[in-house]
Structure 1
Amino acid sequence: MSEISGCRSLSSLLLLGTIFLQFIPGFSDDGKNSTNPTSHAPSNSRNGSTLAFIPFGLVVVGLLSFFLFKLWQKKKREEQYARLLKLFEEDDELELELGLRD
C-alpha cells in the first residue's frame, strides 16, 4: 500500500515540477522577455533540449532515491532481525554468571 502512495507522490512531484518550469522566465516560450524575435529562434532548440533533460533528470533522481530508500529499509530490517535473534538466543555464560544454571 505504501508503494502505491509513493508512486502517486512521485508522479505528482514530477507533474508539479514540470508545471513550475513553465513559470521560470528563461524556460517559458512566451517571447515577452526577448527584444528581437529572430534572435530567439536559435536558442529555442537549446531550451527545448534543456527542457527535455530536466524531467528526465527528475525521474532519475526520483528512482535513485526510491531504490536507496528500499535498500535502507532492507538493511534496517536485517539489523532488527539480528537484534531479535540475539535477544532470544540462549547465552550459557550469562546464565552461569547469574547462577541460574549449574
Structure 2
Amino acid sequence: MRLRRSLPYPFLLALTSVHLQLLSGLDNNPADAKNENEDVNHHASRSSVGLKIIIICLGVLTVIAFCVFLFKLWQRKKREEQHARLLKLFEDDDELEVELGMRD
C-alpha cells in the first residue's frame, strides 16, 4: 500500500510564518540614517533571533515528521500482522481433516 506524500498543513503554516518573519526583517528604509549604529545593532539582534526561531521550528518539524513516519510504519506493520492472521484463519487445513478421518 502506498503512503500519501503530501505536505501537512502545519508544515505549510510554519514555512509561511518563517517566510513572513524573514520578509519583515528586510523592511528597513535606507533613507533613515540618523541612528545608523543602533539600527545595525538592532538588525543584527533581530537576525539572530530570527535565525534561532528558524532553527527551533526546523527542529520541531523534524521531530514531528519523524513521529508521523514511525506512526505510519507502526500502522503498516500492524495491518500486515492482521492480514496474516486473517489468511491463517481461512487457509485450508488439510492435515487436520486427514487426522480426523474426514478426508483420505
Question: What TM-score do you get using the length of structure 1 for normalisation?
Answer: 0.55
**Can you list the C-alpha shifts for 1:7-52, whole angstroms capped at 9, x where unaligned?**
8984x4344112443698xx78659xxxxx5656544433221111
Gaps of 5+ in 1: 32-36, 92-100
- Check whether the contact 1:21–1:28 (CA below 8 A) recurs between aligned residues: no
Q: Which structure has the larger Rg over C-alpha atoms?
A: 2
Alignment-derived partner of residue 96 in structure 2: none
Question: What TM-score do you get using the length of structure 2 for normalisation?
Answer: 0.54
Alignment-derived partner of residue 88 in structure 2: 89
Equivalent residues, number: 85
* Structure with greater contact order relative to length (CA < 8 Å, sep ≥ 6): 2
RMSD after superposition: 3.8
1:13 paired with 2:17, answer no
Gaps of 5+ in 2: 30-34, 91-98
Identity among equivalent positions (%) equals 13
Alignment-derived partner of residue 4 in structure 2: 2
